[in-house]
Structure 1
Amino acid sequence: MTYRLNDPTLEDSFPADSILLPPTLENADCFLADTESGWLSPLLETYRRFMGEPESQSLRCRTVALSLGTSEENRNPLAQGSYAFELEVSWTRQRHDQREAGANFSDQEPRLADRTVVQDVIVAPPDPPVILDFRAAAAAYQVVSRNATDTTEITTSAATNESATSSPSPVAVAPVLLNWTIDNRSEIQTIQIESLAPDGSANTQPIFFEFTNGEIDPELVRYCTSSTEVQLRCENVPTQAEQVGEYTFYLRVITDREDISAEIAKLAPMVAIKPLAPIINSFQVNGIDVLAEPRQVLPLNPALETTPIRLSWQVENAIKIELFPAPGEVEGESINYTISATPGVETIELRATNEAGEVMTRSVVIEKTEAYIPDSFVPLPIFPVPPPPAGTSPVGPPSPPSIEGLEPVRTPPQAD
């Protein structure tokens, strides 16, 4: 690799007290420094002034990137191995006045000024990938509500709010989202994600992301950013974990290097997907909601040993519904319930339980009372009718009077 300095073909003019670097050295740390003085320095300075040359300066370069190839387009970083580097400095004599006059020295044959060799420079292989961080985007998740219409906004805001504020954030909506940061991304060939249940079995299908020539998998690229050329940071990567349960995610990085035998993997802290809380929308006794009347009076019929009532309910997010003190677990949304006819107080409780064992209850107090009978009420006696005497006809309704022998009724005189 050759670096040509102060080449007038690169730039028409440049200050005499500076140095023109080629493009290949522009990103290196190169600068001019005064040459350290020695016992010959005064004589050299006098000679340079007489010849019209500038004072002696040293070119110092650090962090010069080395690569293999004949041009900028096909150069590749040095591979693993042992190298010897040789540095040669050549020069073409040109006095300061010639330089100011614009004399072209590109056609002059350069002369070797100095040469040095650095032996046994070991180029080690790139460091293997390192998983710096791997965890779920939120501390807890909840299954999607049947009434939810847009879960993407809820999930993103919950995951974002958790890191943005110290106050409790809303529970994120499933599926579980993952965040990770991996160093030395150039050595990644495949990223594999698995999920384990508490018993160690897989509770989701594994996910694979393939890297080709250092390029991120198209399915993953929209979730990832690279803060540097070395580091890969991905956020809110969706998984298949959507059902209620506990998940421990396992991230494995696979490389194609034979010198890496140790597994590159990391477990994320366990994250749970919780069910929706059970909800009792209504609980009614004979059509009367117990929230409106938590204590209801029930008159008893003394002629009956038991009194039937109708219990009905509307419950959400429950896998088990129970009535206490009896009959226990029930199905449907209503039941004919029988209570004793003994006066007193009886409490009926409705209990709804979800998949996580969370319980919601609602109860009603039934006050059983006897039917009201006034103390002054005396029933009238009922006397039996005696039978008619023997030989007589039964008593019937009276006969109408006879009109025989009566004169006809005359019409009264009328006025003219």
Structure 2
Amino acid sequence: MTPNHENVIGFILKGYPRLSETFIVNEILLLEELGYKLHIFALRNPGESKVHESVTRVRANVTYIPDYFWRFFFSFISANLRLWLRRPGLYWPAFRLALVRSLRQRSSSTIKRFAQSAYLVQKCLPATRVTHFHAHFSHGPTTVAYFVAWLTGMPYSFSAHAKDIYLQEHGMLREKIRRAQFVVTCTEFNRQHLLRVAGDGAPVYRVYHGNNLQLFKPAPAAPQNDSPPVILSVGRFVPKKGFPVLLRALHQVQQKGLRFRCYIIGGGPMQGELEKLSAELGLRECVEFRGQMSQTELLAYYRQAGLFTLACEVQNDGDRDGIPNVLVEAMAMGLPVVSTSISGIPELIESGVNGLLVPEKDPEALAEGIETLLRQPEMARRLGLAGRAKVERDFDAKRNVQKIGELLRGAVANPARVAGAGRTNLSSGLLRAGKNAPVTAM
């Protein structure tokens, strides 16, 4: 069964395009390849100086919803007033819920997302043929999808990933799940958490982020020389990536007399702190920080690396990764990997079989894992081969996106869980969360 070409699926994204979200662009491209017509609604233009080459191949139209309320005050007010006059019975209960939640959470987030939803419905939707919405990330973008569904009766689904799941107040997350046609998440660990939030029987599916196995593939073996082995780590410079732990581990490896060169690729708010720590630990000669890169640029570093490491950790507020895409990329390249046993990472890495896992926040254990791979090249080669086989088996992008396509096709063909019905009775349960409910990132 092929997609109905009369139907357009609206993709609601927090920002587009974003260098750190290649998995979303890859998903869009593969859905288009399968015949789906998409329209992207982005809540922000990140304005990043670099974009992946793959973005240029996306055929979907892109509509940007204003993100700064006061800058676009009159546009927001005009759209909301017009929609209120057109659909007062739907608009007022939804507005009341958004306003009261924002007041109780002492955050403008929910009312802002509601205003964006009304803007989308009034000003953007009429010019499209969108019949279903799919949001990426369960906080802001799905809040917009939730209110759009309330205001129009159009069905929605969403993909949940990491921080958006664990930093969100359970009451609103539960309601979003129950009103969705389906929910996709990228790890079994996440799926079990979402089922605990929403209850057994909720339409939550685990679909791993896939990898382009033709692009990310093992490089030919480099000729032997006297150059030190290259250690690679890639990620945003934020606490959950554990880069301070990695630097302390590298210091211990250095103290044991092992030669290496480490490239740490990324960018973010911790960059100055990390560079200072690297200097304090005496790592300037063997550790280099490189800026954010496109996939094409990053491939060159994967090809020269001898091993890959990422010291992921769970933060005190619950923030964490799911399965970092860079781990999947590194394993697809045939690199031996060392990471931590948190969240969904053990679903990718089986320690001693296709990589090594160590406890989080433990520089000594991470140093031991890195040292093991540096000292035992035959073991590193075996783990690298097994890692590639694991990715081929479970993380093939084309195969995994087909599963999402099947879910979307079923949702469009049979919108049984229409999100606009019975909404006027929803707010009472959500509003009973009370003043002491945790602040939700919406």
Is TM (by shorter chain) over 0.5? no
TM-score of the superposed pair, with normalisation by structure 1 = 0.20
Say which structure is richer in strand.
Answer: 1
More helix by share: 2
Give 1 or 2 for the bigger CA radius of gyration: 1
After TM superposition, the score normalised by the length of structure 2 is 0.19
